[in-house]
Amino acid sequence: MPAAEPFPTCDESIRPTRVEVDLGQLGRNLAAIRSHAGGARVMAVVKANAYGHGLVPVAREMVRGGADSLGVALLEEAVLLREAGITAPILVFGGIAETQIPLFFRHDLTLTAPSVDKLRLIDDAAAAHGVRARVHLKIDTGMERLGIHYYSADRLLEASLNARHVQVEGIYSHFANSDTADLGHARLQLERFLEVLSFYERRSLPVPQRHIANSGGILQLPESHLDLVRPGILLYGVYPGPECLRSVPVRPALTWKSHVAYFKVVQPGHPVSYGSTWTADHSVRMVTVPVGYGDGYFRALSNRAEVLIRGERHPVAGRVCMDQIMVNIGQGTAYYRDEVVLLGRQGGEEVTADELAGWAGTIAYEVLTNINARVPRVYL
């Protein structure tokens, strides 16, 4: 049975709150990254519902735009892509259970082998199914997450030479601090990774496809581009950190919108929303917008965030509710169904993911991936 689209189609007659994704801008971002990466291949990272932009439509656009492969975190994400008819190579970054391995073979997916034991499980399963498993070896050079430690990596590489039912297509690591001004740790990780790779040179063996550069590495460490780069948040037009070089020209592809659902005048001394955390000291005009923390608009944005209405910034007043927010427009004008931009550009103003993150005390990654399933996506 074909998989359903993970998000509903937008119908403004049902609900006005929606995310608009500019597929053309995503394509332009991909092209800019490819140009900057020189001869390196590009693996478009579409995990976490393509950073909130919509897994299947974005993956299709990445393949159309020339991405050499796709990267996801979970087997389930990869299976959704296959069931949607996407045939490009897909690497699953995350750890796997033994019972999942046959599904990789069934759906023609590439596994990550982060240890000798996992590699043996993959090899045994491939032998039992009469197939040759495609894997990328994962080296931990300083993240302490997945992967064999760099100082023990020879054990995994030796084991891969003896695995009879495994094809090692790649070998990779992941930067922990490639998006900061101080690149000392990132350079140390790269040095450790290159030392691991010398295993092949010492034995006069062909080297699998090497990759370590995430968005920060792409922007700041050209020496890390190697054979393949893995852009994540950069693909979506957001830079990975405030200190990171803007060496690739990208623009956001996502706009989060709603509209004015109600208008009222709030009198002095009348508190607004749960907890009565905001009270007018003079008569103000207030609008209600049908979006809340049930959609992924953080409760931490209460009394802090701003939205755009008629090209002007207006503050969120009172606590964010599960389904609604109230916005103080002062003595301004707004009418029922006026567009409200929560994230993105309207006229000459823009609310960025970094701004929302700052107000909420988090990072842009979480802002984007937190926009949840009940918010419809529209593709332009």
Q: Does domain 23-236 have CATH number 3.40.718.10?
A: no
The encoded tokens of residue 56 equal 């299947």
Alpha helix stretches (DSSP H) within 245-375: 353-360, 364-369
Q: What is the pLDDT of residue 13?
A: 58
DSSP 341-357: EEEEEETTEEE-HHHHH
Q: What is the pLDDT of residue 1?
A: 32
CA–CA dist 218, 221 (Å, integer): 6
Tell me if domain 23-236 and domain 254-379 are identical in fold: no
Cα distances (Å, whole numbers) of residue 258 to 25, 77, 97, 247, 376: 21, 28, 41, 33, 11
8 A C-beta contact, residue 172 and residue 139: yes
CA–CA dist 70, 55 (Å, integer): 11
**Ramachandran assignment for 284, one of left (phi > 0), alpha (psi -120 to 50 degrees), beta (any other):** beta
Quote helix, strand, coil % in the chain, to nearest 5. Answer: 35, 25, 40
3-state secondary structure at position 359:
helix
DSSP 21-39: E-HHHHHHHHHHHHHHTTT
Q: Which residues, listed in sequence order, are joined to residue 172 by a DSSP beta bridge?
A: 138, 211
Q: Token pair 């907890």 is at which residue?
A: 275
Which amino acids are annotated catalytic? 47, 274
Domain map (residue ranges) of the chain: 23-236, 254-379
112: nearest Cα among 76, 142, 84, 139 = 139
Quick count: other Cβ atoms within 10 Å of Cβ 323? 14
CA–CA dist 105, 85 (Å, integer): 16
For the four alpha carbons of 234, 51, 93 and 175, in that order, the dihedral sign comes to positive
Q: Which of the four CATH numbers 2.60.40.10, 3.90.950.10, 2.40.37.10, 1.20.1270.360 does domain 254-379 have?
A: 2.40.37.10
Q: pLDDT 10s digit of each residue in the chain, 380 long?
A: 333 344 444 555 578 999 999 999 999 999 999 999 999 999 999 999 999 999 999 999 999 999 999 999 999 999 999 999 999 999 999 989 999 999 999 999 999 999 999 999 999 999 999 999 999 999 999 999 999 999 999 999 999 999 999 999 999 999 999 999 999 999 999 999 999 999 999 999 999 999 999 999 999 999 999 999 999 999 999 999 999 999 999 999 999 999 999 999 999 999 999 999 999 999 999 999 999 999 999 999 999 999 999 999 999 999 999 999 999 999 999 999 999 999 999 999 999 999 999 999 999 999 999 999 999 999 99
Q: What is the pLDDT of residue 12?
A: 55
Interaxial angle between packed helices 23-36 and 55-64, expressed in degrees from 0 to 180 and rounded to the nearest 10: 50
CA–CA dist 157, 202 (Å, integer): 12
Q: What is the pLDDT of residue 15?
A: 83
CA–CA dist 188, 207 (Å, integer): 21
State residue 329 phi and psi, 5-degree precision.
Answer: -100, 15
Q: What pTM value is reported for the model? A: 0.94
